[in-house]
Amino acid sequence: MTPKEVLEFAKKNNVVMVDMKFIDFPGIWQNFSVPISELEKESFEEGFGFDGSSIRGWQAINASDMLVIPDPKTAILDPFREYPTLSLVCNIADPITKEFYSRDPRYISQKAINYLSSTGIADTAFFGPEAEFFIFDDVRYNQTSNSGYYHVDSVEGIWNSGRAENPNLGYKPRHKEGYFPVSPTDTMEDLRTEMVMVMQKCGIRVEAQHHEVATAGQGEIDMRFSPLVEMADNLMLFKYIIKNIAKKYNKSATFMPKPLFGDNGSGMHTHQSLWKNGKPLFAGSEYAGLSEMALHYIGGILKHSPALAAITNPTTNSYKRLVPGFEAPVNLAYSARNRSAAIRIPMYTQSPKAKRCEVRYPDPSCNPYLAFAALLMAGLDGIENKINPGEPLDKDLYDLEPEELASVPQMPGSLDEALDNLEADHDFLLKGDVFTEDALMTWINYKRDNEVDALRLRPHPYEFFMYYDI
């Protein structure tokens, strides 16, 4: 929509409030609202003021004034507000220079697409994330100087198979057996369908929904691929809808990568392809029907994956999922159909339009604007420098002999290690001023100070089990 069309849309739908949504540095939607009378055509250029010093990783208090600039193309009716509310996704700008803010993740993703176009390689980068999540019935956690615990529960949890539920009907998916029995074992079918219906009403095209592998309400809803920035917008709306529909039924949805011990975590397999002038560029006569360009794109991602991990898997909890020998694809290899490789080439169809690579290690705790931009920049570095991805590995990587596995590079084992890799390898992200040195160093320092060190300073409950009697 244009600004004029947004105003007409608001009038037609009797809108009374306008909700300005924007994303903070770590990846959480923020918002404030203004009465519809405050929204004018000029607002889409002049924006609205707010305090940037209160947003994580952004401005100092002595330079806190900032602007949100609403994007008219993102206008929808918020599906959860009691009063008719127009929702607008915004960029961030400096109130004096009116320049867009270099630490605004959405602006970074827009610069990545501008850089792609400037190279002449392609004009569109399609992304299709498969964000998994859990839906719990009860969530409790606390940390004090002398105690720390968490407790999550679900009516589906296999640990409740012996609980007195008056009656307990016994249909609870066992660990790693949630993919995907019908109801009554799957209790979330109608809940996920309502989520899909709201997504479609908001303009998100959905391809499928289903229970995922883990017990306790793990699910997945697959969106159809979209251009990079649009997909990042959609993923934030996707999370917003899932969390609010869950809350409507007194449940809690989380995109935390590893909330349960002993069962699968939540990943976000991310499909990618490049197009130019409406034609796909990843189809060809090379391995698995790929083009040489696609193989170079894969080579760039494999080369930079240890650094990318700090952005695509940006929490300390991410590395409870990325553990060698378990379900996550930590081995930096590519393969057709093989889900144990870090990058898979889906083989469901041989249509040139469907040729893509699927990067399997990201998780849904990431900031999608930063993650998608970083993956694109790594792939473009591979194309520009003709990086050879090596030979594909079509074996089950978990069954390789130790000496054979030793030659396969692996993802970092911790957020701290990933941040070290990003600090050492980030020149590819600086091309076209997509990521700035300031933005990357702010990210690295924020993660070290507020997450890595914060966790390192605190005793873990399991340490008492292992060490108290020493």
| E strands, 224-370, in order | 226-227, 252-254, 268-276, 279-280, 334-336, 343-345, 357-359
Q: Shortest CA distance to 47 belongs to which of 1, 90, 106? A: 90
Q: 192, 211, 296, 360: which is the annotated catalytic residue?
A: 360
CB 223 within 8 A of CB 207: yes
Active-site annotation holds for 165: no
Active-site annotation holds for 358: yes
Tokens 């589906």 belong to 156
Q: 71, 104, 156, 220: which is the annotated catalytic residue?
A: 220
Q: 45, 51, 138, 190: which is the annotated catalytic residue?
A: 51
Active-site annotation holds for 220: yes
Q: 71, 78, 233, 358: which is the annotated catalytic residue?
A: 358
Q: What is the amino acid identity at position 328?
A: A
Active-site annotation holds for 269: yes
Q: 192, 211, 269, 344: which is the annotated catalytic residue?
A: 269
Instruction: Supply the angle between the helices 228-248 and 368-384 in degrees, to the nearest 10.
Output: 150
Helix, strand and coil in the chain, % to nearest 5: 40, 20, 40
Active-site annotation holds for 132: yes
CB 27 within 8 A of CB 93: no
> Which string of DSSP letters, residue by residue, matches 140-185?
EEEE-SS-EEEEEE-TT-GGGTTS--SS-----PPTT--S-PPTTT
Categorise residue 258: left if φ over 0, alpha if ψ from -120 to 50, beta otherwise.
beta
Q: 24, 71, 78, 132: which is the annotated catalytic residue?
A: 132
CB 330 within 8 A of CB 265: no
Q: 339, 456, 458, 460: which is the annotated catalytic residue?
A: 339
Residue 352, preceding peptide bond in cis (omega within 30° of 0): no
Active-site annotation holds for 130: yes
Catalytic residues: 51, 130, 132, 212, 220, 269, 339, 358, 360
